[in-house]
Structures are given as C-alpha cells and as structure tokens.
Chain A
Amino acid sequence: MRADLLRRVTPSVVLPALFAFALFAGVPSEALAQPAPSGEAVPLAADPELEARVNALSHQLRCLVCQNQTIAESNAPLAVDLRNQVREQLASGKDEDAVIDFLVARYGDFVLYLPPFKGVTLLLWLGPALLLAVCGGWLALRLRRRQREAAPTLSGEQHRRARALLDGAPLPPEEPRS
C-alpha cells in the first residue's frame, strides 16, 4: 500500500522538485537575485574572471549606434564587435586603461560614459559647482541686504505712537499733515 503510494507520488512530485533543486543549486545566488536584463551581453569567454572584467569595462563604454546604451547593454553589431575587441585585448594581457586608450583613439572621448577631466570638459565638471556658488552668493547678498533694509528707522514721534499702541493707551493726537 505504502510502496504503491510512493510509486505513484514519486514521478509526479519528486521529479519536478528534484529538477527545480538542480536548476537553482547550480546557479549562484547572486545571479538569482539579479537576473540579467533582456538584451544584456551574453558572456562568451570561458574564464569568468575575464568575463567580469569585460563586462565591467563594457559598462563604461558608450555604443555609438545606440548612443544612450553602453556596449554591454546594446546588441547593435558594432557593440558586439567592440565587446569582442575588449575581450580579446584584455585576454591578450592589456589592462583596462590600454583598452580605453585604444577606443578613445578611434572614437574619441564620446565612447566614455565618464568624460575625462580636461580643458574642454572643465565647464561640464565645474559648471554645477560654479552655478551653486554664484546662486548661493547672490542669495546671501540678497538676504543680507534685506536684513539691513528691514531694520526699522522710526522718528521719535512715530516711536511714541507705536509705544502707545502697544501699551493700549489712547492714541496721542496725530501731527497735522502739512
């Protein structure tokens, strides 16, 4: 009876469970937590360490065809070619900077998602700070001026009237207007 039940249960329940276990056991927990977005670069190199470097570097490089994507994200043929170039050059022992130099020499600074700090990008890098400084300075100036303007300057007579108002006393007669 029991064996009979087991036999009936085994294929329908245990096998899928085993399958699911095998499926997830083989996958690193990291990959499970962060599934690759669709269209992401498909890893090709057998060496996972190299592939990690290729992927990291690819995420810093702009695809010139789909300009708002990195070459890691884009599946444009050029992005695939450039990814292969990056992989090949890293595999041949070049370091990241050398590969970046290689691509900048061909496509210009535009391939870099992080623009370099140099003469023509000075405004780009310092502009926000400059804007903040200018606006902050202007605001400080305005506030100080307003503070000075707000300081009351009452004549002796006005002062007396104000005092009287505050004290609740009857108003002293107003000076005749000239």
Chain B
Amino acid sequence: MKAKFLVPLGLFLVLVGFLAFGLTLNPREVPSPLIDKPAPDFRLARLEMPDTQMSLADMRGQVWLLNVWASWCVACRQEHPVLLDFARQQVAPLIGLNYKDGRDDALGWLQAHGDPYVTSVVDGDGRVGIDYGVYGVPETFLIDQAGMIRYKQIGPVTPQVVRDVLLPMIAELKRAG
C-alpha cells in the first residue's frame, strides 16, 4: 500500500472528470418530453392570409419541419440563411410558427430576408408555443407522417444540424413511412 497517498489525488481527478464533462453540457438545452409523442394540435391563422387557417391535420402524411421564429429574434437572423438553403433543397416542407410577433414586423422581416416557409402560422399570444414546450426562439421540430415529433432543435439550425441530423432523419422517416 505504498501508493496510498495517491488515493485523494485519484478522487480529485475523478471529480475533475465530472466537472470537465459538465462543462461540455449546455444547460440551456432542456430535453423535450415531447420527442416521439404526438405533436400538439393547433388551428392558427396564416400570416400571409389571416382569413385562412391551418391546423396540424393539414400536414398529416408528410414529413415536415415546424420552425418557431419571430422578427424580434436575433438568433433567427443567424439561422435564416440555413433555412433558405434547406427550403431550396425541397426535401421537406418548412412551416413557420410566427411566435408573439407583430403582423407587419413579421411580413416585413420575411420580405427583407426572404421567405423559406411554405406558410407561416401566427401564434400571437404564445399559447401554441407553450403547448410545444417552446421556451426560446428559434426552435425547430421535425414531425413525421403520423404527426409525431421526432426531433427538436433548440436554438438556431446550423448547416451541421441540417447535414448530420435533419437530412438523415428525414430520409429515414420517408423510407419508413
């Protein structure tokens, strides 16, 4: 037992290991309990045509993305080119959930930065956002043919996320469905 004095050092290193691992985690990313659960239903007015409504059932049978965005959201600006690029690839329809925004602001924003969305629906008071467990903008949900949430991106969608997560998952879901 000559190396007994090394025991505290070993314990310390274990602790350092835990702390180092903790640093790699992002406390802002709270795993959603909605993964692999049915997407909450909604019936909301469309941004471009407020007289018409859209509901979850309208997307049944398709693999699609629901992107929560707002004109006041800074990170959305960073995400926007990625979404435009994604929309150009036409692998899955992208629906916008315009979250607690003003109509004129939202329309102006789309005009200024381009519109990647098939359509955007308006969640003025954030109620549908709460149903989806949205706690920050942007957030993006991948929803399958049966209306199940398969993936949730918290924070901006990056090119890496599109390439490594979204595109493979979409392909997989389409094959399975």
Q: How many residue pairs at the A-B interface have CB separations less than 8 Å?
A: 39
Shortest CB-to-CB span from A33 to chain B, Å, is 35
Secondary structure of the A contact surface, majority rule: helix
Given the contacts A81-B130, A82-B130, A106-B132, A64 and B100 also touching, CB distance less than 8 Å: no
In the assembled complex, the Cα of A85 lies from the Cα of B27 at a distance in Å of 25
Given the contacts A77-B100, A78-B135, A106 and B130 also touching, CB distance less than 8 Å: yes
Contact assessment for A65 and B33 in the assembled complex, using a CB-CB cutoff below 8 Å = no
Among A77, A81, A85, A107, the residue within 8 A (CB) of B30 is: A107
Given the contacts A67-B27, A77-B100, A106 and B136 also touching, CB distance less than 8 Å: no
Contact assessment for B135 and A107 in the assembled complex, using a CB-CB cutoff below 8 Å = yes
Residues of chain B lying within 8 A (CB to CB) of residue A110: 30
Binary contact track A125-146/B, C-beta < 8 Å → 1, others 0: 0000000000000000000000
Contact assessment for A64 and B33 in the assembled complex, using a CB-CB cutoff below 8 Å = no
Given the contacts A65-B136, A81-B126, A82-B130, A106 and B30 also touching, CB distance less than 8 Å: no
Residues of chain A lying within 8 A (CB to CB) of residue B33: 104-109
Contact assessment for B100 and A108 in the assembled complex, using a CB-CB cutoff below 8 Å = no
Contact assessment for B131 and A108 in the assembled complex, using a CB-CB cutoff below 8 Å = no
Secondary structure of the B contact surface, majority rule: loop
In the assembled complex, the Cα of A82 lies from the Cα of B132 at a distance in Å of 13
**A83-116, CB < 8 A from B:** 85, 104-110
Given the contacts A64-B135, A65-B135, A78-B135, A106 and B34 also touching, CB distance less than 8 Å: yes
Among A67, A77, A106, the residue within 8 A (CB) of B133 is: A106
Contact assessment for A64 and B130 in the assembled complex, using a CB-CB cutoff below 8 Å = no
- Nearest opposing residue in chain B for A106, CB measure: B133
Shortest CB-to-CB span from A74 to chain B, Å, is 11
In the assembled complex, the Cα of A159 lies from the Cα of B49 at a distance in Å of 105
In the assembled complex, the Cα of A110 lies from the Cα of B135 at a distance in Å of 12
Shortest CB-to-CB span from B85 to chain A, Å, is 29
In the assembled complex, the Cα of A110 lies from the Cα of B130 at a distance in Å of 15
In the assembled complex, the Cα of A107 lies from the Cα of B154 at a distance in Å of 13
Given the contacts A77-B100, A81-B126, A108 and B30 also touching, CB distance less than 8 Å: yes
B31 interface hit (Cβ, 8 Å): yes
In the assembled complex, the Cα of A20 lies from the Cα of B100 at a distance in Å of 43
Residues of chain A lying within 8 A (CB to CB) of residue B130: 81-82, 85, 106
- Nearest opposing residue in chain B for A78, CB measure: B135
In the assembled complex, the Cα of A104 lies from the Cα of B31 at a distance in Å of 12
- Nearest opposing residue in chain A for B32, CB measure: A108
- Nearest opposing residue in chain A for B126, CB measure: A81
In the assembled complex, the Cα of A79 lies from the Cα of B132 at a distance in Å of 15
In the assembled complex, the Cα of A85 lies from the Cα of B132 at a distance in Å of 14
Interface residues of A (CB under 8 A from B): 64-65, 67, 77-78, 81-82, 85, 104-110
16 contacting pairs across A/B (C-beta < 8 A): A64-B30, A65-B135, A67-B27, A78-B126, A81-B126, A81-B129, A81-B130, A85-B130, A104-B33, A105-B34, A106-B33, A106-B34, A106-B133, A107-B30, A107-B133, A108-B32
Interface residues of B (CB under 8 A from A): 27-28, 30-34, 100, 125-127, 129-133, 135-136
14 more contacts with CB within 8 A, not counting A64-B30, A109-B33, are A64-B136, A65-B136, A67-B27, A67-B28, A77-B126, A81-B126, A81-B127, A81-B129, A105-B33, A106-B33, A106-B130, A107-B30, A107-B133, A108-B133
